[in-house]
Chains A and B, each alone.
Chain A
Amino acid sequence: MDRTETQDEFYRKVAEEYGASLARMAYAYEADPDLRRDLSQEIHLALWRSFEKFIGRCSLRTWIYRVAHNVATSHIVRQTRGKRSGPAFLTLEEAGVQASGENVEISADRHQALAHLFALIQRLDPLDRQVILAYLEDLDAESIAEITGISVANVWTKIHRIKDVLVRQFHRGGRDGL
């Protein structure tokens, strides 16, 4: 089997296994459906090309998320270029303040809750966004630290703050909090 075949096979397996996760990631980075389709293609293209260089210095999962997040980050930096409106992203503190005003019940309308969750994530600073997304995809703190380049302790701090924001934003039907 030559190198191209290996790269193609590798990509097929990864697209099969991580396709849904990558689609969610594209959704969290881009609200516009046409641009989202472009972003998805960019991510898949970058992944396929990256497998030429993958030599297993980190886990495959870390590699995939790192490539995908970095490509998505390039996309949003490009998209904010030339926009006149004020700060394009919210910090976790700002998201927390906004969250206290609008509360969504997960159990009442799952579609609405999901849209609300995506809308919140789409407005976050790229780094906070990466931590949230990796967290929601069940990555452990060490992997998140490896992907983002921030310390494990800082990942935990961010996770706790994210949880705080999410608890204020969402609640279960009939219960006070999560």
Chain B
Amino acid sequence: MACDEMPDDLKILWKEAGTDRPVFSPDQLRQETEKMRARRRKSDVLGAAVMAFFVASYTIIFFFIPNNALTLAGSILSVLICGIWLLDILRKRARVAPDPGETDSVRFYRAELERSRDNHRTLVWRLALLAPPFILWDIGFARIFAKAAWFIEPLMWFDCVLLLAVFAVVLPLKQLKSMRKYQERIHTLDAAMRSEGR
């Protein structure tokens, strides 16, 4: 069954495009694959460096700055949550993406939408989880150093409100909005597939 009802003019017009096609040699593509691997290694190293920075910072705080129960709880929880983040990122990377050659477009498109939705969804809880330990640490710090300078306590409270607003309200709401956008597209796609009895 050939699709021969298409206006010929338009098909001829269509074929006039694409004359300036980019050319890639297999060696170029092989080099690009290597570059991609290098970029991935670099981002792994960067992730590990950020984690190491967090652990080192809290270790310094732990051993060299006076602590109370709140700062200790805040420090330990922050390191734990960053560790969970890292594990989650590595676990997600280990998941196999759909094969573009073996997967039909509808399933592939749905998988891509799900992947984007899930990225935003995980960011919501990641950001929301990070706020409490930071706030605990701020309150603990304010209690220890309240008498050292008048501005420390109001500064720490301001920081708490800011952290709460950014990590628990503004950023998660933004992520939820994006998550809903992808969920709506999944619903639309599912509805279209249902209507054709797939």
Q: Which residues of A contact B (CB under 8 A)?
A: 7-8, 11-12, 15, 19-24, 27, 37, 40-41, 44-46, 48-50, 53-54, 63, 66-67, 69-71, 73-74, 77-78, 81-82, 106-107, 110, 113-114, 117-118, 126-127, 130, 135-142, 144, 146-154, 159, 163, 166-167, 170, 172, 178
23 pairs from A and B in contact (CB 8 Å cutoff): A11-B26, A21-B18, A22-B21, A23-B17, A40-B21, A44-B24, A66-B100, A66-B104, A69-B105, A77-B112, A81-B178, A106-B10, A114-B16, A136-B11, A136-B14, A141-B3, A148-B105, A149-B198, A150-B193, A151-B198, A159-B5, A163-B6, A178-B9
Q: Within 8 Å CB of B15, what residues of A?
A: 20
Q: Which of B151-198 contact A (CB under 8 A)?
A: 178, 189, 192-193, 196-198
Q: Is the CB of A77 within 8 A of B116?
A: yes
Q: Within 8 Å CB of B16, what residues of A?
A: 110, 114
Given contacts A23-B20, A70-B98, A114-B13, 14 further A-B contacts (CB under 8 A): A11-B26, A19-B18, A23-B17, A24-B17, A41-B22, A48-B26, A66-B100, A70-B105, A107-B9, A149-B198, A159-B3, A163-B6, A163-B7, A170-B10
Complexed CA–CA distance, A67 and B100 (Å): 5
Q: Is the CB of B105 within 8 A of A50?
A: no
For the complex of A and B, the 6 pairs showing the least CB-CB separation, nearest first, are: A149-B104, A23-B21, A70-B100, A24-B18, A178-B7, A20-B18
Of all chain A residues, which has the CB nearest B26?
A: A8
Q: Within 8 Å CB of B22, what residues of A?
A: 23, 37, 40-41, 44
Q: Within 8 Å CB of B33, what residues of A?
A: 45, 49
Q: Within 8 Å CB of A138, what residues of B?
A: 2-3, 11
Q: Is the CB of B17 within 8 A of A127?
A: no
The reply on B106 being an interface residue by CB < 8 A is yes
Q: Is the CB of B196 within 8 A of A150?
A: yes
The reply on B108 being an interface residue by CB < 8 A is yes
Choose among A77, A141, A151 the residue with the greatest number of B CB atoms under 10 Å from its CB: A77
Q: Within 8 Å CB of B29, what residues of A?
A: 11, 44-45, 48-49
Which residue of A46, A150, A153 is within 8 Å of B106 (Cβ)?
A150
Chain B interface size, as a band, is 35 or more
Which residue of A37, A77, A136 is within 8 Å of B113 (Cβ)?
A77
Q: Within 8 Å CB of B11, what residues of A?
A: 136, 138
Q: Is the CB of B32 within 8 A of A41?
A: yes
Complexed CA–CA distance, A81 and B24 (Å): 28
Minimum distance in angstroms from A69 CB to a CB of chain B: 5
The reply on B1 being an interface residue by CB < 8 A is yes
Minimum distance in angstroms from B111 CB to a CB of chain A: 9
Q: Is the CB of A20 within 8 A of B19?
A: yes
Q: Is the CB of A117 within 8 A of B116?
A: no
Which residue of B2, B20, B100, B196 is within 8 Å of A154 (Cβ)?
B196
Q: Is the CB of B26 within 8 A of A170?
A: no
The reply on B107 being an interface residue by CB < 8 A is yes
Q: Is the CB of B17 within 8 A of A27?
A: yes
Q: Is the CB of A50 within 8 A of B113?
A: no
Q: Within 8 Å CB of A41, what residues of B?
A: 22, 24, 32
Complexed CA–CA distance, A70 and B103 (Å): 8
Complexed CA–CA distance, A149 and B21 (Å): 28
